[in-house]
Amino acid sequence: MPADRVEPPEDLLQRPEIEVYKHDRRSRVWRVADEPGDANTAAAASGVKNSGGGWVVKRFEHNLKRQRLARAVGQHPAQREAKWNERLLTAELPVVPIAASGVDDAGRSWLATRHVGVSLYNWLRQSDPDDPATQRQRRALTRQLGAIVGRLLVNKVVHGDLKASNLIVDTAGRLRMIDVGACRGGKGTPLLGQALPMLKMLLANLRDAASYHPNLAAVAVSRAERMRFFIALRATWPTPPDGLQYLLRHPELR
């Protein structure tokens, strides 16, 4: 079986859970193991929850009649997410590919991706700021994050849910996006109109993650990191777009 596919896809819904990431009225997100059977119990018991391996299933929980209608007109959130996942992959942006999808017996749409690592949100909460290896990885992640945002902007993509919790640090230390259904085409939108809402959301989410760390001052986003981020962002553009000179002056980003 190829590493990025599972057959039959519906088999994923029947496997025991390793962990649940989210469950509300809109969606339920949980993780299952690579294969059905005792591996699920062993993985859960070992406490190895943030390692690679397994699958993450996202099932949409909102009104079933609305789901059926949305699917019929091609506007279901699962359809939009799959479309943007493919578009960003085609544009060579780092996205975790959607490997399986379907509709369950109750009529709820679902998607599945490989479990490849821990979210940037949880990585920041759990990191040891005094560890030199962590410091090196944090610098690398900051540059990768700047490059991702820069490439979104240069491709005229507005990401309406760009948060640290929707960015995954994989087992190789690479940053990859998930949950890209809130992306929209931003053709004709001025640079600041695209950049500032995304950057404000991202910064607020990073600050929230840092607030849970016992050493808040050590893990908070520093001025040097903001500059490292913007240098990496700028490096993705062949020429400076109009409005670039104003980005660093916005009070929310100081």
> Strand 183-185 vs strand 175-177: parallel, antiparallel, or unpaired?
unpaired
Q: Which of residues 213 and 168 earns the better pLDDT score?
A: 168
* Helices 191-211 and 132-154, packing angle to 10 deg: 160
Predicted confidence band of residue 45 (pLDDT cuts 50, 70, 90): very low
Half-sphere exposure of 32 (CA within 13 A, CB side): 18
Query: Amino acid identity of 224?
Result: A
pLDDT per residue as tens digits for the range 13-26: 888 889 999 999 99
Predicted confidence band of residue 10 (pLDDT cuts 50, 70, 90): confident
pLDDT per residue as tens digits for the range 64-86: 999 999 999 999 999 999 999 99
Predicted confidence band of residue 254 (pLDDT cuts 50, 70, 90): very low
Q: Identify the residue whose tokens are 């509300």.
A: 24
Contacts of 173 (CB under 8 A, 6+ apart): 137, 140, 141
- Four-CA torsion 77, 146, 212, 173, nearest 10 degrees: 90
pTM, whole model, 2 decimals? 0.84
Residue 166 corresponds to which tokens in the numbers above? Answer: 């929707």
Predicted confidence band of residue 217 (pLDDT cuts 50, 70, 90): confident
Q: Which residues pair with 177 in a beta bridge?
A: 95, 167
Residue 143 corresponds to which tokens in the numbers above? Answer: 């540059």
Euclidean distance between CA atoms 170 and 92, whole angstroms: 17
Euclidean distance between CA atoms 61 and 242, whole angstroms: 42
H-helix or E-strand containing 183? strand 183-185
Residue 220 corresponds to which tokens in the numbers above? Answer: 């908070």
Query: Amino acid identity of 126?
Result: Q
H-helix or E-strand containing 44? helix 38-46
H-helix or E-strand containing 58? strand 55-60
Q: Is 224 exposed, middle or buried (0-12, 13-18, 19+ CB in 10 A)?
A: exposed
